[in-house]
Amino acid sequence: MAHTLTVNGTSHQVDLPAEVPLLWVLRDALNLTGTKYGCGVAACGACTVQIGGEAVRSCQVALADVWDEVTTIEGLGTPEALHRLQQAWIDHQVAQCGYCQSGQIMQAAALLAQVPSPTDAEIDDAMAGNLCRCGTYPRIRAAIRAAAQTQEG
């Protein structure tokens, strides 16, 4: 049965079983590979996307259960038109291997949408579900702080 899904403002008809997680719809059916697979059990945050502005683990949302429009890293900003968080990430040279950073940025974007000027503790709390094996955490903190200031200013 075909399911209708809106991703980054574009509507798609997806012919996959209802229980296929959104992650694998995005990656293997729609070729939106910016969203990453890390664990499949919501323990690492690499697959974080936004549904209706809320950060969710796309490995845990079945295709049939997607309740609103989906935004992925490709929809947040592009190399030619960066989101201010992506700009902050580049300014702070955050990424090392880079694999987890799509999820990190999508999580941070949801945080700043809700809490425009987060405290250090609020940043750590919001980002606690996103693993980075390269240890980029100090620069993630710095980039979020900087983006929050840009937003305020």
Binding site for other proteins (CB under 8 A): 16-17, 20-21, 23-24, 27-29, 31-41, 43-44, 46, 72-74, 77-79, 82, 86, 89-90, 93-102, 105, 123-125, 127-128, 130-141
CB of 38 to other proteins, least distance (A): 5
Closer residue to other proteins, CB minimum distance, 95 or 116: 95
d(CA 102, CA 107) in angstroms, rounded, equals 9
Q: Strands 48-51 and 2-7, how do they pair?
A: unpaired
Count the helices and strands in the chain (H runs, E runs): 6, 5
Nearest of 17, 85, 80 to residue 50 by alpha carbon: 85
Outline where DSSP puts E strands in 28-108: 48-51, 54-57, 70-71
- Which CB sits closer to other proteins, 19 or 152? 19
| Of 131 and 146, CB closest to other proteins | 131
Least distance in Å: CB of 126 to other proteins? 9
User: The dihedral of CA 28, 30, 33, 36: what is its sign?
Assistant: negative
CB of 73 to other proteins, least distance (A): 3
Residue closer to other proteins, measured from CB, 69 or 82: 82
Cβ 33 to other proteins, closest distance in Å? Answer: 4
* Closest to other proteins by CB, 20 or 51: 20
Instruction: Compute the least distance from the CB of residue 109 to other proteins, in Å.
Output: 12
Those residues whose C-beta lies under 8 Å from the C-beta of residue 12, and which sit 6 or more positions away, are 4, 5, 6, 30
